[in-house]
Amino acid sequence: MSLNMPADTPQRHPAITGYAIRDNCLVIGDTPVTRLASQIGATPFYAHDRSRLDARIELLRHYLPDGVNLNYAVKANPMPAIVQHLSGLVDGFDVASAKEMQTALDTPMPAKRISFAGPGKTPQELDRAVAAGITIAMESETEMRTISAAADRQGLRPRVVIRVNPDFDLKSSGMRMGGGPKQFGVDAERVPQMLGHLAKLDLEFVGFHIFAGSQNLDVQSLCETQIKTADLALALAKHAPAPVRHLNMGGGLGIPYFPKDQPLDLEPIGANLAEVLTRIGSDLPEARVMIELGRFIVGEAGVYVARIIDRKESRGEVFLITDGGLHHQLAASGNFGQVIRRNYPVAIANRMNEAPQETANVVGCLCTPLDLLANKVELPRAEIGDLVVVFQSGAYGLSASPMEFLSHPRPAEILV
């Protein structure tokens, strides 16, 4: 990481310090952001840096044990160029819709390394998944029957896993996705009975998918969850009609979004996973064990860039009004599941070496007070025409934002 930034600049968030700066301008993928804006010919836009994706995968491979497979959860960023790029770097894709499935199938990734999870898969989607020959994570007995009917009609024997709603959750997570009553997966205590029914159907049972939560920055919680996940998988495997060959242990690794967040230390997580893997290996020797990560892979590789269209003062506060907003970057506005609104790291892309001179609010162009990209941040004095950059925007950005709200045009999204 290049640290060519003076210490007295406002951009001290760990997410920002890793970027290069050239002629006072932030550099993404070896190109200054101002030049990317000229290349695209319009603002706002998303720019993702492929060398940062590569570095992320290298980091994971360095710390995680060799035996663990690394899946990318496509919903974090389904941009086809990114999925294509990652197809050569990860071991599998997790998709959550038929369109994501097609994006994944368009890459060289083998179909059976693509798995499809998520509640409410329609009979049509399941038909397509059976025909595609991917691995299907069944979220209910209803889905199992629908898949079985599709398989009979098509004369195919699909690879299936049961998505388990664990009897524990991932503590201190940004988003809990298991434990307690949930729409995801089959409650762990009901799985043995479902396995009994499955044994009578002509489906190729290969294993389990257990996902407990997301956006976690607590090493101990993550390690405990890995252990509990393995315990649960080993207990459920005793009821399985065939050897477990596929065990998706979830992921949950978070990234630092807010000022007090610290990046995860992967070393203890990798060491814990190595022990867990050894235990699984002795009981389930055929199991291919995988973790699935979304934001940890793509989140820090992307920025959102918007241009300042107006600058005004209102009753003592400065407002930098941009041509972007929550219709493209909902999460940065604090409206994507956050309980307390906190600022994503932001900077003025063309004034990276200038010291903070004022406290400003960065807002979007939508007619709602929710359209706040940064609240009272210290920034250099910014002028009309300058570019605001929102970091940590590579995951749950454009595809997780209400793009149609106010009917502005779709922004460009590029991979540099």
* Binding-site ranges for ligand PLP (CB under 6 A): 73, 75-76, 94, 117, 211, 214-215, 251, 292-296, 395
Smallest distance, ligand PLP to C-beta of residue 312, A? 37
Two tokens, residue 286: 């055929």
Smallest distance, ligand PLP to C-beta of residue 377, A? 25
Smallest distance, ligand PLP to C-beta of residue 371, A? 24
Smallest distance, ligand PLP to C-beta of residue 136, A? 13
For 139-237, strand residue ranges (E) read 159-165, 173-176, 186-187, 204-210, 213-216
Considering the complex, state which of residue 164 and residue 349 has its C-beta at the smaller distance from ligand PLP. 164
φ and ψ of 135, to 5 deg = -90, 130
Considering the complex, state which of residue 292 and residue 323 has its C-beta at the smaller distance from ligand PLP. 292
* Beta pairing class for 92-95 and 69-73: parallel
Smallest distance, ligand PLP to C-beta of residue 229, A? 12
Considering the complex, state which of residue 34 and residue 135 has its C-beta at the smaller distance from ligand PLP. 135
Considering the complex, state which of residue 127 and residue 139 has its C-beta at the smaller distance from ligand PLP. 139
Element (H, E) at 128: helix 123-132
* Beta pairing class for 45-48 and 412-415: parallel
Two tokens, residue 149: 């009917």
Considering the complex, state which of residue 27 and residue 164 has its C-beta at the smaller distance from ligand PLP. 164
The SS3 call for residue 299 is helix
Considering the complex, state which of residue 117 and residue 326 has its C-beta at the smaller distance from ligand PLP. 117
Residue nearest to ligand PLP (CB): 294
φ and ψ of 385, to 5 deg = 100, -20
Q: Which residues lie closer than 8 Å to 217 by C-beta, 6 or more apart?
A: 172, 254, 255, 256, 261, 262, 263, 264
Other CB atoms within 10 A of residue 363 CB? 23
DSSP 12-70: -SHHHHTS-EETTEEEETTEEHHHHHHHHTSSSEEEE-HHHHHHHHHHHHHHS-TT-EE
DSSP 352-410: TTSPP-EEEEEE-SSSSTT-EEEEEEEEPPP-TT-EEEESS-SSSSGGGS-TTTT-PPP
Considering the complex, state which of residue 178 and residue 364 has its C-beta at the smaller distance from ligand PLP. 178
Considering the complex, state which of residue 196 and residue 337 has its C-beta at the smaller distance from ligand PLP. 337
* Beta pairing class for 204-210 and 246-251: parallel
Smallest distance, ligand PLP to C-beta of residue 182, A? 11
